[in-house]
Amino acid sequence: MKSGVLYISYDGMLEPLGQSQVLAYLKRLAENRRIFLLSFEKPEDWADDIARHRTAASIAAAGIVWHPLRYHKKPSALATLWDIVCGFSVGLWLVLRYRLRIVHARSYVSSVIALLLKRCTGVKYIFDMRGFWADERVDGGLWPKGGRLYQTAKWFERHFLLNADVVVSLTRSAVDEMRAFPYLKGRMPVFEVITTCADLELFRPAPSNGISPDSAHPFTLGYVGSVGVWYLFDETLRCFQLLRAQVPGARLHILNRGGHDYIRDRLKAMGIDKDLVRIEAADQRGVARAMQEMDAGIFFYNPTYSKIATAPTKLGEFLGCGVPCLSNRGVGDMAAILENEKVGVAVNSFDDEALTRAVHDLLELTETEGIKARCRNAAVRCFSLDEGVRSYTSVYKSVEV
């Protein structure tokens, strides 16, 4: 009989993140293990009957046993506590009923449930931390640093790290940081780096039709995703201005949901002709098609402390489509990937001199022979689902010994 794993996710399987970063792995892992999935679904997602039934059928077809619970939002602390109580109750029943020996918890709230299960039943506990969650709340302006919520979350983080049988991190930079935590001295957990995966079957270079590229096609700089608190969008627009100084016919293509008014306001404030910028929303397939038409990608993160644990999925998607990127240092292992794989440029600062040089280097890179194949190969090495599944399989085997 296949050995069993209880996977706990506070993110719902009806959300895009649950689809791409949880189910994509679990469907493959379920080929060799019994997977029991406990997730928390938001009411508005659950109300979509068609999507719910389609997702449930897909999960069942993969052999995964899904136990969806309702996510509660308000009042914040009490709602989360109630979710933990519900998750622990169902999780305990599953562990005892099916004699499960491994609990795999995604991020912090799920890990509270997993840690309780470990204390009560002795299961092996995998802390899939996904980032420095408490510090993200502070860096995003949601919590004051040193406040009660932050201190409580960091107290839990300490106990997660001290009690986990394996800690999975998205980046090597975060592992290096955690190895320096004083309370881990002499009690260092086993760390495994497994970055976010990209759907490289979807995000791939456009198929060749045997026709030479259209010389009239303008150089297209692509921006994909949010323009919110974590991103330095004005700096992105400044790079576009500097790009046009070197390539007068260049265009900017932005794919974004929910931020179009803000984007237009910033274009106006910076004096950029709106006719030079294409702004649209797209589903995942639409994003992939758009990326295939881009010559380079760009995105800048606010390099706060918590970002050392971030692994942007969009980097894997751009590279999967054969598109080199311009970004910045201080964000996980991103700069190392761009520079070591020679598939992009990472800036140290955002003054005009540094950005002008970065844009020049990016242009040179786009003209390098074989750059699309190099980007694609880097994506396969660094962001492939196959590598992630192999790594998680190895982690499961290690805790069974």
Task: Report whether pLDDT(166) > 50.
Answer: yes
**In angstroms, rounded to a whole number, what is the distance separating the alpha carbons of residues 173 and 309?**
7
Judgement on whether residues 93 and 163 belong to the same structural domain of the protein = yes
Per the structure block, which two tokens stand in for 336? 């190392």
Which residues, 6+ apart, have CB-to-CB distance to 129 below 8 Å? 107, 108, 111, 160, 167, 168, 169, 170, 174, 309
Mean pLDDT of 128-140: 95
Judgement on whether residues 274 and 224 belong to the same structural domain of the protein = yes
Asked whether residue 71 is domain-assigned, the answer is yes
What is the dihedral sign for C-alpha 338, 339, 341, 343? positive
What does the pLDDT read at residue 208? 72
Vertex 14 angle, CA 9 and 17, to 5°:
60
Q: How many domains does the chain have?
A: 2
What does the pLDDT read at residue 215? 57
* Tens-digit pLDDT profile for residues 178-227: 999 999 999 999 999 999 999 899 999 998 755 445 556 899 999 999 99
**In angstroms, rounded to a whole number, what is the distance separating the alpha carbons of residues 165 and 299?**
35
What does the pLDDT read at residue 16? 82
Judgement on whether residues 124 and 149 belong to the same structural domain of the protein = yes
Alpha carbons within 13 A on the beta-carbon side of 200: 22
Judgement on whether residues 226 and 292 belong to the same structural domain of the protein = yes
Distances (CA, A) of 351 to 239, 270, 305, 355, 361: 10, 16, 21, 6, 16
- On average, the pLDDT of the chain sits at 95
* Tens-digit pLDDT profile for residues 76-122: 889 999 999 999 999 999 999 999 999 999 999 999 999 999 999 99
Neighbours of 314 (CB within 10 A): 22
Q: Which of 83-87, 145-149, 375-379 has the lowest mean pLDDT?
A: 145-149
Please check whether residue 223 is in contact with residue 298, taking contact to mean a CB–CB distance below 8 angstroms.
Answer: yes
Judgement on whether residues 281 and 330 belong to the same structural domain of the protein = yes
* Tens-digit pLDDT profile for residues 258-309: 999 999 999 999 999 999 999 999 988 899 999 999 999 999 999 999 999 9
Read off the CATH number of the domain in which 338 is found: 3.40.50.2000
* Tens-digit pLDDT profile for residues 346-356: 999 999 999 99
* Tens-digit pLDDT profile for residues 29-61: 999 999 999 999 999 999 999 999 999 999 999
Judgement on whether residues 228 and 192 belong to the same structural domain of the protein = no
Q: Give the helix ranges, DSSP H, for 342-384.
A: 352-366, 371-383
Asked whether residue 80 is domain-assigned, the answer is yes
Judgement on whether residues 137 and 188 belong to the same structural domain of the protein = yes
Judgement on whether residues 156 and 238 belong to the same structural domain of the protein = no
Please check whether residue 164 is in contact with residue 125, taking contact to mean a CB–CB distance below 8 angstroms.
Answer: yes
Helix or strand run (H / E) with residue 230: none
Asked whether residue 212 is domain-assigned, the answer is no
Please check whether residue 138 is in contact with residue 150, taking contact to mean a CB–CB distance below 8 angstroms.
Answer: yes
| Residue 63 belongs to domain spanning | 4-196+384-400
Judgement on whether residues 33 and 179 belong to the same structural domain of the protein = yes
Mean pLDDT of 228-249: 96
Task: Report whether pLDDT(312) > 50.
Answer: yes
Judgement on whether residues 52 and 34 belong to the same structural domain of the protein = yes
Q: Give the helix ranges, DSSP H, for 272-348.
A: 284-292, 313-320, 334-340
Identify which has the larger pLDDT, 18 or 160.
160
Mean pLDDT of 131-141: 95
The answer to whether the predicted template modeling score (pTM) of the entire model surpasses 0.85 is yes
What does the pLDDT read at residue 211? 47
Q: Give the helix ranges, DSSP H, for 141-253.
A: 148-163, 172-179, 233-246
What does the pLDDT read at residue 118? 98
What is the dihedral sign for C-alpha 381, 382, 388, 394? positive
Q: Give the helix ranges, DSSP H, for 48-194.
A: 49-61, 76-98, 107-121, 133-139, 148-163, 172-179
